[in-house]
């Protein structure tokens, strides 16, 4: 999970759309976003978001294309 979170942070630095999406998610989950856009919280809000995403796509099966797209969007490639 930490590798996925780190990949997302790295990619979000250069992707304003991704940064905007995760700022919103982190604020909703109780995370803090600094004035310069950096994330100032631990891994737990991201874990909660990922858990809910996986749960929502449980019916898609083990090779869920939605999860694969999400992983690609955040720069995490566990399958490739």
Which residues are bridge partners to 39 per DSSP? 33
The verdict on residue 80 lying in a domain is no
- Residue whose C-alpha is closest to residue 45's, from 32, 56, 34: 32
The verdict on residue 38 lying in a domain is yes
Helix (H, G, I), strand (E, B) or coil at 36: coil
Number of domains in the chain: 1
Contact 46, 5 (CB under 8 A): yes
46-59 mean pLDDT: 90
Domain that holds residue 7: 2-74
pLDDT above 80 for 52: yes
Q: What is the pLDDT of residues 57-74, one digit of tens each?
A: 999 988 899 999 988 888
pTM of the model: 0.70
Helix (H, G, I), strand (E, B) or coil at 71: helix
Q: What is the pLDDT of residues 18-49, one digit of tens each?
A: 777 777 776 676 666 666 656 555 677 778 88
Residue 30 pLDDT: 63
The verdict on residue 36 lying in a domain is yes
């Amino acid at each position: 999970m930490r590798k996925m979170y780190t990949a997302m942070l790295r990619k979000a630095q250069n992707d304003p759309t991704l940064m905007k999406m995760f700022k919103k998610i982190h604020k909703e989950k109780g995370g803090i976003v600094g004035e310069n856009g950096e994330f100032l919280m631990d891994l737990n809000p991201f874990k909660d978001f990922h858990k809910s995403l996986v749960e929502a796509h449980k019916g898609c099966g083990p090779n869920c294309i939605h999860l694969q797209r999400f992983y690609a969007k955040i720069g995490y490639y566990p399958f490739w």
